[in-house]
Structure 1
Amino acid sequence: MGNEHTEYSGEIDVPVEAIRIVDPSVLAKLPQGTIITSVAAHGASFWTRTAKLDAFLNDRPKEYFLKTSHGDRGKGMMSGEFTSMSLMYEANPDLVPKPIAWGTYTTIPDVHFFLCNFHNMTDDLPDLHSFPAMLAKLHRNGSSPNGSFGFPVKTYHGQTPIDHGWSDTWEEYFKRTTTVLLRLEQESQGLNKELLDMADPFLNKVIPRLLRPLETGGRSIKPCLIHGDLWYGNATMDGDSELPIIFDAACFYAHNEYDLGVWRATWNKIGKPYITRYHKHFPISPPEEDHDDRNALYATRVGILDSILYKGNSGYREKLIIEMKKLVEKFPGGYEGAS
Protein backbone atom coordinates (compact mmCIF):
# COMPACT_ATOMS: atom_id res chain seq x y z
CA MET A 1 0.00 0.00 0.00
CA GLY A 2 0.97 3.61 -0.24
CA ASN A 3 3.50 5.20 -2.56
CA GLU A 4 6.17 2.89 -1.15
CA HIS A 5 4.62 0.13 -3.26
CA THR A 6 6.75 1.37 -6.10
CA GLU A 7 9.82 0.28 -4.17
CA TYR A 8 8.89 -3.40 -4.03
CA SER A 9 11.55 -5.38 -5.90
CA GLY A 10 10.27 -8.93 -5.62
CA GLU A 11 9.69 -11.08 -8.70
CA ILE A 12 6.35 -12.54 -9.74
CA ASP A 13 6.72 -16.30 -9.67
CA VAL A 14 3.73 -16.99 -11.92
CA PRO A 15 4.78 -18.16 -15.41
CA VAL A 16 3.82 -15.53 -17.98
CA GLU A 17 2.26 -18.30 -20.06
CA ALA A 18 -0.55 -18.41 -17.49
CA ILE A 19 -2.07 -15.27 -19.02
CA ARG A 20 -1.31 -16.14 -22.64
CA ILE A 21 -3.58 -19.14 -22.80
CA VAL A 22 -7.05 -20.15 -21.70
CA ASP A 23 -6.55 -23.23 -19.60
CA PRO A 24 -9.27 -25.89 -19.91
CA SER A 25 -9.97 -25.53 -16.17
CA VAL A 26 -10.76 -21.85 -16.68
CA LEU A 27 -12.95 -22.49 -19.71
CA ALA A 28 -14.84 -25.18 -17.81
CA LYS A 29 -15.94 -22.57 -15.24
CA LEU A 30 -17.53 -20.35 -17.90
CA PRO A 31 -21.04 -20.90 -19.32
CA GLN A 32 -21.26 -23.71 -21.82
CA GLY A 33 -20.80 -22.40 -25.34
CA THR A 34 -18.46 -19.56 -24.37
CA ILE A 35 -15.94 -18.79 -27.11
CA ILE A 36 -12.79 -16.93 -26.03
CA THR A 37 -11.60 -14.48 -28.68
CA SER A 38 -8.60 -12.92 -26.94
CA VAL A 39 -6.48 -13.03 -23.80
CA ALA A 40 -4.46 -9.96 -22.86
CA ALA A 41 -2.49 -8.90 -19.81
CA HIS A 42 -4.48 -6.37 -17.82
CA GLY A 43 -3.76 -4.53 -14.60
CA ALA A 44 -0.74 -4.65 -12.33
CA SER A 45 0.08 -6.82 -9.32
CA PHE A 46 3.19 -7.60 -7.29
CA TRP A 47 2.01 -11.09 -6.38
CA THR A 48 -0.01 -12.39 -9.35
CA ARG A 49 -0.44 -12.14 -13.12
CA THR A 50 -3.75 -10.80 -14.37
CA ALA A 51 -5.55 -10.71 -17.72
CA LYS A 52 -8.73 -9.71 -19.48
CA LEU A 53 -10.60 -12.38 -21.43
CA ASP A 54 -12.79 -11.27 -24.35
CA ALA A 55 -15.45 -13.78 -25.31
CA PHE A 56 -18.73 -14.43 -27.05
CA LEU A 57 -21.71 -16.31 -25.67
CA ASN A 58 -24.76 -16.82 -27.87
CA ASP A 59 -23.34 -14.18 -30.24
CA ARG A 60 -23.14 -11.61 -27.44
CA PRO A 61 -19.81 -10.14 -26.26
CA LYS A 62 -18.64 -11.01 -22.75
CA GLU A 63 -15.63 -9.88 -20.71
CA TYR A 64 -13.95 -11.65 -17.80
CA PHE A 65 -11.07 -10.89 -15.43
CA LEU A 66 -8.52 -13.63 -14.70
CA LYS A 67 -6.01 -13.58 -11.83
CA THR A 68 -3.33 -16.27 -11.64
CA SER A 69 -0.95 -17.34 -8.87
CA HIS A 70 1.63 -20.06 -8.23
CA GLY A 71 2.40 -22.63 -5.55
CA ASP A 72 0.71 -23.54 -2.29
CA ARG A 73 0.64 -19.93 -1.12
CA GLY A 74 -0.90 -18.88 -4.43
CA LYS A 75 -3.55 -21.57 -4.11
CA GLY A 76 -4.51 -20.22 -0.71
CA MET A 77 -4.60 -16.67 -2.08
CA MET A 78 -7.06 -17.62 -4.82
CA SER A 79 -9.25 -19.65 -2.47
CA GLY A 80 -9.34 -16.86 0.10
CA GLU A 81 -10.12 -14.20 -2.49
CA PHE A 82 -12.93 -16.23 -4.05
CA THR A 83 -14.53 -16.86 -0.66
CA SER A 84 -14.14 -13.20 0.28
CA MET A 85 -15.52 -11.82 -2.97
CA SER A 86 -18.41 -14.30 -3.01
CA LEU A 87 -19.56 -13.27 0.47
CA MET A 88 -19.19 -9.58 -0.34
CA TYR A 89 -21.19 -10.04 -3.55
CA GLU A 90 -23.97 -11.66 -1.54
CA ALA A 91 -23.95 -8.76 0.93
CA ASN A 92 -23.86 -5.93 -1.64
CA PRO A 93 -23.71 -6.99 -5.31
CA ASP A 94 -23.55 -3.36 -6.47
CA LEU A 95 -20.14 -2.87 -4.84
CA VAL A 96 -18.03 -5.81 -6.09
CA PRO A 97 -17.45 -7.73 -9.34
CA LYS A 98 -19.39 -10.97 -9.56
CA PRO A 99 -17.01 -13.84 -8.72
CA ILE A 100 -17.28 -16.90 -10.94
CA ALA A 101 -14.80 -19.50 -9.73
CA TRP A 102 -11.35 -20.36 -8.54
CA GLY A 103 -9.33 -23.45 -9.41
CA THR A 104 -6.08 -24.98 -10.65
CA TYR A 105 -4.66 -25.13 -14.17
CA THR A 106 -4.36 -28.46 -15.90
CA THR A 107 -1.74 -27.42 -18.48
CA ILE A 108 0.76 -25.48 -16.32
CA PRO A 109 1.94 -27.13 -13.09
CA ASP A 110 0.96 -25.52 -9.79
CA VAL A 111 -0.79 -22.47 -11.28
CA HIS A 112 -4.08 -21.43 -9.72
CA PHE A 113 -6.69 -18.88 -10.74
CA PHE A 114 -9.51 -16.61 -9.68
CA LEU A 115 -12.15 -15.66 -12.25
CA CYS A 116 -14.76 -12.91 -12.10
CA ASN A 117 -16.72 -10.54 -14.33
CA PHE A 118 -14.67 -7.77 -15.90
CA HIS A 119 -15.41 -4.13 -15.03
CA ASN A 120 -14.14 -1.07 -16.84
CA MET A 121 -12.53 0.61 -13.83
CA THR A 122 -11.35 4.20 -13.81
CA ASP A 123 -8.36 5.59 -11.91
CA ASP A 124 -10.62 7.82 -9.80
CA LEU A 125 -11.13 7.61 -6.07
CA PRO A 126 -14.50 6.15 -5.06
CA ASP A 127 -17.19 8.79 -4.76
CA LEU A 128 -17.16 10.43 -1.33
CA HIS A 129 -20.95 10.46 -1.08
CA SER A 130 -22.01 7.06 -2.44
CA PHE A 131 -19.04 4.88 -1.45
CA PRO A 132 -19.32 5.18 2.36
CA ALA A 133 -23.05 4.43 2.13
CA MET A 134 -22.44 1.34 0.01
CA LEU A 135 -19.69 0.12 2.33
CA ALA A 136 -21.98 0.59 5.33
CA LYS A 137 -24.58 -1.54 3.52
CA LEU A 138 -21.99 -4.28 2.99
CA HIS A 139 -21.10 -4.19 6.69
CA ARG A 140 -24.73 -4.33 7.79
CA ASN A 141 -25.70 -7.15 5.44
CA GLY A 142 -22.63 -9.35 5.91
CA SER A 143 -23.40 -11.30 9.07
CA SER A 144 -21.18 -13.93 10.68
CA PRO A 145 -22.59 -17.43 10.09
CA ASN A 146 -21.99 -18.45 13.70
CA GLY A 147 -22.08 -15.12 15.50
CA SER A 148 -18.31 -15.19 16.07
CA PHE A 149 -15.38 -13.08 14.93
CA GLY A 150 -13.05 -14.64 12.38
CA PHE A 151 -13.31 -16.33 8.99
CA PRO A 152 -13.71 -19.89 7.67
CA VAL A 153 -10.64 -19.81 5.40
CA LYS A 154 -7.17 -18.31 5.45
CA THR A 155 -6.86 -14.97 3.66
CA TYR A 156 -3.81 -13.00 2.55
CA HIS A 157 -2.58 -9.44 2.97
CA GLY A 158 -0.52 -9.41 -0.20
CA GLN A 159 1.44 -12.60 0.36
CA THR A 160 1.06 -12.61 4.16
CA PRO A 161 -1.26 -15.39 5.35
CA ILE A 162 -3.79 -14.64 8.08
CA ASP A 163 -5.19 -17.73 9.77
CA HIS A 164 -8.30 -16.25 11.35
CA GLY A 165 -10.02 -19.04 13.24
CA TRP A 166 -12.99 -18.02 15.37
CA SER A 167 -13.39 -16.09 18.62
CA ASP A 168 -16.42 -15.27 20.71
CA THR A 169 -15.25 -11.71 21.38
CA TRP A 170 -13.61 -9.08 19.20
CA GLU A 171 -10.94 -8.46 21.81
CA GLU A 172 -9.93 -12.11 21.87
CA TYR A 173 -9.81 -12.35 18.07
CA PHE A 174 -7.82 -9.14 17.73
CA LYS A 175 -5.29 -10.03 20.42
CA ARG A 176 -4.83 -13.61 19.22
CA THR A 177 -4.22 -12.76 15.58
CA THR A 178 -2.17 -9.63 16.30
CA THR A 179 0.14 -11.69 18.55
CA VAL A 180 0.92 -13.88 15.54
CA LEU A 181 1.42 -10.87 13.29
CA LEU A 182 3.90 -9.26 15.68
CA ARG A 183 5.95 -12.47 15.62
CA LEU A 184 5.84 -12.55 11.81
CA GLU A 185 6.98 -8.93 11.70
CA GLN A 186 10.10 -9.81 13.71
CA GLU A 187 10.77 -12.74 11.38
CA SER A 188 10.37 -10.55 8.31
CA GLN A 189 12.27 -7.43 9.36
CA GLY A 190 14.65 -8.88 11.94
CA LEU A 191 14.67 -8.65 15.71
CA ASN A 192 13.97 -5.24 17.20
CA LYS A 193 14.18 -4.82 20.96
CA GLU A 194 12.01 -1.70 21.05
CA LEU A 195 9.13 -3.49 19.35
CA LEU A 196 9.62 -6.60 21.47
CA ASP A 197 9.48 -4.52 24.64
CA MET A 198 6.28 -2.82 23.48
CA ALA A 199 4.53 -6.03 22.48
CA ASP A 200 3.40 -6.99 25.99
CA PRO A 201 1.84 -3.63 26.94
CA PHE A 202 0.35 -3.31 23.46
CA LEU A 203 -1.32 -6.73 23.66
CA ASN A 204 -2.24 -6.74 27.33
CA LYS A 205 -2.91 -3.07 28.06
CA VAL A 206 -3.81 -1.18 24.88
CA ILE A 207 -5.98 -3.82 23.21
CA PRO A 208 -8.10 -4.57 26.32
CA ARG A 209 -8.44 -0.85 27.08
CA LEU A 210 -9.79 0.01 23.63
CA LEU A 211 -11.70 -3.12 22.63
CA ARG A 212 -13.16 -4.57 25.85
CA PRO A 213 -15.48 -1.58 26.40
CA LEU A 214 -17.17 -2.40 23.09
CA GLU A 215 -18.59 -5.60 24.60
CA THR A 216 -18.98 -4.83 28.30
CA GLY A 217 -21.13 -2.52 30.38
CA GLY A 218 -24.26 -3.49 28.47
CA ARG A 219 -22.64 -2.74 25.11
CA SER A 220 -22.19 -5.17 22.22
CA ILE A 221 -21.04 -5.22 18.60
CA LYS A 222 -22.05 -7.48 15.74
CA PRO A 223 -19.36 -9.32 13.75
CA CYS A 224 -19.60 -7.68 10.30
CA LEU A 225 -18.17 -8.83 7.00
CA ILE A 226 -15.36 -6.41 6.15
CA HIS A 227 -13.14 -6.06 3.09
CA GLY A 228 -9.96 -6.24 5.16
CA ASP A 229 -7.56 -4.23 2.97
CA LEU A 230 -9.45 -1.16 1.82
CA TRP A 231 -6.68 1.19 0.69
CA TYR A 232 -7.20 3.39 -2.36
CA GLY A 233 -5.60 0.83 -4.70
CA ASN A 234 -8.45 -1.59 -3.98
CA ALA A 235 -11.32 0.86 -4.50
CA THR A 236 -12.28 2.97 -7.50
CA MET A 237 -15.18 3.80 -9.81
CA ASP A 238 -16.84 1.67 -12.47
CA GLY A 239 -16.62 3.60 -15.72
CA ASP A 240 -19.85 2.08 -17.05
CA SER A 241 -22.17 2.04 -14.03
CA GLU A 242 -20.53 5.12 -12.46
CA LEU A 243 -20.76 3.36 -9.10
CA PRO A 244 -17.93 2.69 -6.63
CA ILE A 245 -16.35 -0.74 -6.87
CA ILE A 246 -13.97 -2.62 -4.56
CA PHE A 247 -11.85 -5.72 -5.14
CA ASP A 248 -8.78 -7.70 -3.93
CA ALA A 249 -10.56 -8.50 -0.68
CA ALA A 250 -9.12 -10.26 2.37
CA CYS A 251 -12.35 -10.53 4.32
CA PHE A 252 -13.17 -11.55 7.84
CA TYR A 253 -15.97 -10.95 10.33
CA ALA A 254 -14.87 -8.07 12.50
CA HIS A 255 -15.85 -4.83 14.15
CA ASN A 256 -17.05 -2.80 11.19
CA GLU A 257 -14.79 0.12 12.10
CA TYR A 258 -11.70 -1.99 11.36
CA ASP A 259 -12.17 -1.34 7.62
CA LEU A 260 -11.67 2.37 8.35
CA GLY A 261 -8.29 1.91 10.04
CA VAL A 262 -6.29 2.07 6.82
CA TRP A 263 -8.09 5.34 5.96
CA ARG A 264 -6.13 6.96 8.79
CA ALA A 265 -2.80 6.56 7.00
CA THR A 266 -1.46 9.84 5.64
CA TRP A 267 -0.49 8.19 2.34
CA ASN A 268 -3.98 6.82 1.75
CA LYS A 269 -5.96 8.98 -0.68
CA ILE A 270 -9.14 7.61 0.93
CA GLY A 271 -8.87 9.59 4.14
CA LYS A 272 -10.73 11.07 7.08
CA PRO A 273 -13.53 12.73 5.07
CA TYR A 274 -14.62 9.20 4.11
CA ILE A 275 -14.66 8.18 7.79
CA THR A 276 -16.89 11.13 8.65
CA ARG A 277 -19.25 10.35 5.78
CA TYR A 278 -19.30 6.62 6.61
CA HIS A 279 -20.54 7.30 10.13
CA LYS A 280 -23.56 9.12 8.75
CA HIS A 281 -24.67 5.69 7.55
CA PHE A 282 -23.21 3.45 10.28
CA PRO A 283 -23.01 5.22 13.67
CA ILE A 284 -19.86 5.17 15.79
CA SER A 285 -19.82 2.27 18.24
CA PRO A 286 -20.05 3.25 21.92
CA PRO A 287 -18.09 4.30 23.80
CA GLU A 288 -17.89 7.06 21.20
CA GLU A 289 -15.09 8.82 23.05
CA ASP A 290 -12.76 5.90 22.23
CA HIS A 291 -13.44 6.09 18.49
CA ASP A 292 -10.29 7.92 17.40
CA ASP A 293 -8.03 5.76 19.55
CA ARG A 294 -9.70 2.58 18.24
CA ASN A 295 -9.09 3.88 14.73
CA ALA A 296 -5.42 4.40 15.62
CA LEU A 297 -5.26 0.84 16.98
CA TYR A 298 -6.75 -0.59 13.80
CA ALA A 299 -4.37 1.50 11.70
CA THR A 300 -1.44 0.16 13.74
CA ARG A 301 -2.44 -3.43 12.98
CA VAL A 302 -2.43 -2.52 9.29
CA GLY A 303 1.04 -1.10 9.87
CA ILE A 304 2.18 -4.44 11.29
CA LEU A 305 0.89 -6.21 8.19
CA ASP A 306 2.65 -3.79 5.87
CA SER A 307 5.94 -4.15 7.76
CA ILE A 308 5.68 -7.92 7.36
CA LEU A 309 4.91 -7.64 3.68
CA TYR A 310 7.65 -5.22 2.63
CA LYS A 311 10.64 -7.04 4.00
CA GLY A 312 13.73 -4.87 4.07
CA ASN A 313 11.82 -1.59 3.81
CA SER A 314 12.69 0.08 7.10
CA GLY A 315 10.18 2.87 6.58
CA TYR A 316 7.24 0.65 7.45
CA ARG A 317 8.85 -0.50 10.68
CA GLU A 318 9.79 3.05 11.67
CA LYS A 319 6.19 4.19 11.23
CA LEU A 320 4.96 1.15 13.16
CA ILE A 321 7.21 1.90 16.13
CA ILE A 322 6.01 5.50 16.26
CA GLU A 323 2.33 4.56 16.23
CA MET A 324 2.66 1.69 18.71
CA LYS A 325 4.60 3.92 21.09
CA LYS A 326 1.83 6.54 21.03
CA LEU A 327 -0.77 3.99 22.10
CA VAL A 328 1.42 2.25 24.70
CA GLU A 329 2.31 5.58 26.32
CA LYS A 330 -1.31 6.80 26.25
CA PHE A 331 -2.80 3.72 27.94
CA PRO A 332 -0.25 2.40 30.47
CA GLY A 333 -2.96 1.32 32.88
CA GLY A 334 -4.89 -0.79 30.41
CA TYR A 335 -8.55 -1.61 30.92
CA GLU A 336 -8.29 -1.64 34.70
CA GLY A 337 -6.69 1.81 34.68
CA ALA A 338 -9.45 3.43 32.63
CA SER A 339 -11.12 6.29 34.44
Structure 2
Amino acid sequence: MTVDLFEAQPSLDSEPQAIDVDANVAAGDLGRGMMFGEYESMVAIYKIVPTFVPKPTGWGTFESNKDLHFFLCDFHEMDLDLPNVNKFTACLAELHRKSTSPNGKWGFHIMTYNGTLPQLNDWTDTWEEYFTSNFKHFLEMEQEVQGPATEELAELSRAMLEKVIPRLLRPMETGGRHIEPSLIQ
Protein backbone atom coordinates (compact mmCIF):
# COMPACT_ATOMS: atom_id res chain seq x y z
CA MET A 1 0.00 0.00 0.00
CA THR A 2 1.34 3.43 -0.88
CA VAL A 3 0.16 6.41 1.12
CA ASP A 4 0.82 10.13 1.11
CA LEU A 5 1.88 11.48 4.47
CA PHE A 6 2.43 15.09 5.32
CA GLU A 7 5.37 16.39 7.28
CA ALA A 8 4.44 16.73 10.93
CA GLN A 9 6.18 20.09 11.30
CA PRO A 10 6.69 21.89 7.99
CA SER A 11 8.78 25.03 8.11
CA LEU A 12 6.84 28.18 8.94
CA ASP A 13 7.29 29.68 5.48
CA SER A 14 6.15 26.67 3.44
CA GLU A 15 3.17 24.44 2.89
CA PRO A 16 3.18 20.86 4.19
CA GLN A 17 4.95 18.55 1.75
CA ALA A 18 3.56 15.15 0.76
CA ILE A 19 5.90 12.24 1.33
CA ASP A 20 5.38 8.98 -0.59
CA VAL A 21 5.88 5.96 1.64
CA ASP A 22 5.25 2.25 1.37
CA ALA A 23 3.00 1.07 4.20
CA ASN A 24 2.77 -2.48 5.49
CA VAL A 25 -0.03 -3.28 7.92
CA ALA A 26 -0.65 -6.36 10.07
CA ALA A 27 -2.95 -7.26 12.95
CA GLY A 28 -2.52 -8.79 16.37
CA ASP A 29 0.54 -9.66 18.40
CA LEU A 30 2.05 -11.46 15.42
CA GLY A 31 1.55 -8.36 13.26
CA ARG A 32 3.11 -6.14 15.92
CA GLY A 33 6.18 -8.37 16.07
CA MET A 34 6.41 -8.51 12.28
CA MET A 35 6.24 -4.73 11.87
CA PHE A 36 8.74 -4.07 14.67
CA GLY A 37 11.10 -6.75 13.35
CA GLU A 38 10.88 -5.40 9.80
CA TYR A 39 11.62 -1.88 10.98
CA GLU A 40 14.58 -2.85 13.18
CA SER A 41 16.16 -5.10 10.54
CA MET A 42 15.61 -2.52 7.78
CA VAL A 43 17.24 0.18 9.95
CA ALA A 44 20.23 -2.12 10.55
CA ILE A 45 20.62 -2.85 6.82
CA TYR A 46 20.06 0.79 5.80
CA LYS A 47 22.80 2.01 8.16
CA ILE A 48 25.31 -0.27 6.46
CA VAL A 49 24.24 -0.25 2.79
CA PRO A 50 21.65 2.51 2.23
CA THR A 51 21.39 1.74 -1.49
CA PHE A 52 20.24 -1.83 -0.74
CA VAL A 53 16.86 -1.12 0.89
CA PRO A 54 14.32 1.71 1.04
CA LYS A 55 14.87 4.14 3.89
CA PRO A 56 12.80 3.01 6.90
CA THR A 57 10.53 5.77 8.20
CA GLY A 58 8.93 4.22 11.27
CA TRP A 59 6.62 1.65 12.74
CA GLY A 60 3.82 1.73 15.27
CA THR A 61 0.25 1.01 16.23
CA PHE A 62 -2.81 2.75 14.84
CA GLU A 63 -4.32 5.12 17.37
CA SER A 64 -7.80 4.23 16.13
CA ASN A 65 -7.23 0.45 16.36
CA LYS A 66 -4.73 -0.82 18.94
CA ASP A 67 -4.72 -4.25 17.29
CA LEU A 68 -3.46 -2.89 13.95
CA HIS A 69 0.24 -2.17 13.42
CA PHE A 70 2.25 -0.59 10.59
CA PHE A 71 5.73 -0.28 9.13
CA LEU A 72 6.61 2.64 6.84
CA CYS A 73 9.53 3.11 4.46
CA ASP A 74 10.31 5.27 1.45
CA PHE A 75 8.30 4.33 -1.61
CA HIS A 76 10.23 3.25 -4.69
CA GLU A 77 8.48 2.59 -7.98
CA MET A 78 9.27 -0.96 -9.06
CA ASP A 79 8.87 -2.75 -12.33
CA LEU A 80 8.54 -6.42 -13.17
CA ASP A 81 12.09 -6.77 -14.49
CA LEU A 82 14.54 -8.91 -12.59
CA PRO A 83 17.09 -6.87 -10.65
CA ASN A 84 20.66 -6.73 -11.86
CA VAL A 85 22.20 -9.86 -10.34
CA ASN A 86 25.70 -8.38 -10.14
CA LYS A 87 24.49 -5.24 -8.37
CA PHE A 88 22.31 -7.24 -5.97
CA THR A 89 25.06 -9.67 -5.00
CA ALA A 90 27.58 -6.82 -4.65
CA CYS A 91 25.23 -5.08 -2.19
CA LEU A 92 24.69 -8.33 -0.31
CA ALA A 93 28.44 -8.95 -0.09
CA GLU A 94 28.97 -5.36 1.11
CA LEU A 95 26.36 -5.89 3.82
CA HIS A 96 28.11 -9.03 5.05
CA ARG A 97 31.55 -7.42 4.81
CA LYS A 98 30.73 -4.14 6.57
CA SER A 99 28.33 -5.28 9.28
CA THR A 100 29.60 -6.27 12.68
CA SER A 101 27.93 -7.92 15.62
CA PRO A 102 27.47 -5.61 18.63
CA ASN A 103 28.57 -8.38 21.02
CA GLY A 104 30.73 -10.64 18.84
CA LYS A 105 27.99 -13.27 18.59
CA TRP A 106 25.56 -14.52 15.96
CA GLY A 107 21.98 -13.34 16.35
CA PHE A 108 19.88 -10.20 16.46
CA HIS A 109 18.49 -8.20 19.36
CA ILE A 110 14.84 -8.89 18.50
CA MET A 111 12.67 -11.51 16.81
CA THR A 112 12.35 -11.08 13.06
CA TYR A 113 10.05 -12.90 10.68
CA ASN A 114 10.20 -14.72 7.37
CA GLY A 115 6.69 -13.81 6.27
CA THR A 116 4.64 -14.85 9.29
CA LEU A 117 7.21 -17.38 10.53
CA PRO A 118 9.27 -16.18 13.50
CA GLN A 119 13.02 -16.55 13.09
CA LEU A 120 14.98 -17.57 16.15
CA ASN A 121 17.63 -14.87 16.65
CA ASP A 122 19.01 -15.83 20.05
CA TRP A 123 22.68 -14.96 20.46
CA THR A 124 25.09 -17.86 19.84
CA ASP A 125 28.87 -18.16 19.81
CA THR A 126 29.30 -19.94 16.46
CA TRP A 127 27.72 -19.94 13.02
CA GLU A 128 27.11 -23.69 13.35
CA GLU A 129 25.24 -23.20 16.63
CA TYR A 130 23.14 -20.37 15.16
CA PHE A 131 22.30 -22.29 11.96
CA THR A 132 21.50 -25.50 13.88
CA SER A 133 19.26 -23.66 16.33
CA ASN A 134 17.31 -22.04 13.48
CA PHE A 135 17.02 -25.31 11.56
CA LYS A 136 15.61 -27.06 14.67
CA HIS A 137 13.22 -24.15 15.20
CA PHE A 138 11.85 -24.46 11.64
CA LEU A 139 11.45 -28.23 12.06
CA GLU A 140 9.48 -27.64 15.28
CA MET A 141 7.23 -25.07 13.57
CA GLU A 142 6.65 -27.50 10.70
CA GLN A 143 5.56 -30.19 13.17
CA GLU A 144 3.19 -27.76 14.89
CA VAL A 145 1.41 -27.21 11.57
CA GLN A 146 1.74 -30.62 9.91
CA GLY A 147 1.80 -32.90 12.94
CA PRO A 148 4.56 -35.36 13.85
CA ALA A 149 7.20 -35.94 11.21
CA THR A 150 7.08 -39.10 9.14
CA GLU A 151 9.77 -41.65 9.94
CA GLU A 152 11.57 -40.70 6.73
CA LEU A 153 11.53 -36.97 7.53
CA ALA A 154 12.63 -37.63 11.11
CA GLU A 155 15.57 -39.68 9.82
CA LEU A 156 16.54 -37.01 7.28
CA SER A 157 16.26 -34.27 9.92
CA ARG A 158 18.45 -36.23 12.33
CA ALA A 159 21.07 -36.78 9.61
CA MET A 160 20.99 -33.08 8.73
CA LEU A 161 21.48 -32.05 12.37
CA GLU A 162 24.01 -34.71 13.35
CA LYS A 163 26.04 -35.07 10.16
CA VAL A 164 25.44 -32.56 7.37
CA ILE A 165 25.46 -29.28 9.31
CA PRO A 166 28.46 -30.17 11.51
CA ARG A 167 30.46 -31.51 8.57
CA LEU A 168 29.79 -28.43 6.45
CA LEU A 169 30.01 -25.67 9.05
CA ARG A 170 32.30 -26.85 11.87
CA PRO A 171 35.48 -26.92 9.73
CA MET A 172 34.97 -23.21 9.03
CA GLU A 173 35.48 -22.47 12.73
CA THR A 174 38.10 -25.00 13.83
CA GLY A 175 41.86 -25.21 13.44
CA GLY A 176 42.26 -21.50 14.14
CA ARG A 177 39.62 -20.46 11.61
CA HIS A 178 36.86 -18.06 12.60
CA ILE A 179 33.80 -16.67 10.86
CA GLU A 180 33.14 -13.10 11.93
CA PRO A 181 29.47 -12.64 12.89
CA SER A 182 27.71 -10.26 10.52
CA LEU A 183 24.21 -9.09 9.73
CA ILE A 184 22.33 -11.65 7.66
CA GLN A 185 18.99 -11.01 6.07
Query: Do Structure 1 and Structure 2 share a fold, with TM-score over 0.5?
Result: yes
Q: 1:87 matched to which residue of 2?
A: 44
Match of 1:116 in 2: 73
Letter of the 1:205 partner, please give it: K
Matched residue pairs, number? 182
Residue type of the alignment partner of 2:63: T
RMSD: 2.3
Q: CA deviation at 1:193?
A: 1.8
Residue identity opposite 1:195 in structure 2:
L
CA distance in 2, matches of 1:59, 1:20: 18
Q: Which residue is 1:143 aligned to?
A: 100
CA–CA distance in structure 2, aligned partners of residues 193 and 157 of structure 1 = 27
Task: Give the aligned partner of residue 197 of structure 1.
Answer: 155
The DSSP-based 3-state class of the residue aligned with 2:84 is coil
Secondary structure, in 3 states, of the residue corresponding to 2:107? strand
Equivalent residue in structure 1 for 2:145, among 188, 196, 205: 188
C-alpha displacement of 1:20: 10
Secondary structure (helix, strand or coil) at the match of 1:137 reads: helix
The Cα of 1:160 is off from its aligned counterpart by: 0.8
Change (3 A) 1:223 1:20: closer
Residue 32 of structure 1 corresponds to which residue in structure 2? Answer: 9
Q: Structure 1 residue runs of 4+, over 3 Å off?
A: 19-22, 57-61
Q: 1:127 aligns with which of 80, 84, 91?
A: 84
Give runs of aligned pairs for residues 1-339 of structure 1, distance below 5 A. Answer: 31-33=8-10, 58=15, 60-191=17-148, 192-227=150-185
Where 1:113 maps in the other structure, the secondary structure is strand
Task: Note the C-alpha offset of 1:163.
Answer: 2.5
Counterpart AA for 1:33 = P
CA distance in 2: counterparts of 1:155 and 1:175, whole angstroms: 17
Q: Distance in 1 between matches of 2:139 and 2:9?
A: 47
Task: In structure 2, give the amino acid aligned to 1:32.
Answer: Q
What's the TM-score, normalizing by structure 2? 0.89
Partners of 1:61 and 1:137 in 2: how far apart? 33
2:2–2:22 CA contact under 8 A, matched in 1: no
Q: Aligned equivalents of 2:38 and 2:99: distance in 1? A: 16
For 2:73, what is the secondary structure of its paired residue?
strand
C-alpha distance in 2, partners of 1:59/1:161?
A: 39
TM-score (norm 1): 0.50
Unpaired runs of 5+ residues, structure 2, are: none
The secondary structure found in structure 2 opposite 1:165 is coil
CA distance in 1, matches of 2:137, 2:85: 35
- Is there any run of 5+ residues in structure 1 with no aligned partner, and where? 1-18, 35-56, 228-339
Residue 197 of structure 1 and its aligned partner are, at CA, apart by 2.1
State how far apart, in whole Å, the 2-side matches of 1:21 and 1:96 are.
18
Question: 2: CA distance between counterparts of 1:141 and 1:211?
Answer: 22
Residues 187-216 of structure 1 show CA distances to partners (whole Å, capped at 9, x for unaligned) of 212322211122222111111101001101
Counterpart of 1:119, as a letter, is H
Cα offsets for 1:63-86 (capped at 9, x unmatched) = 111111000000000010000100
What secondary structure does 1:166 align onto? coil
Partners of 2:103 and 2:28 in 1: CA distance: 31
Percent identical across equivalent pairs?
A: 46
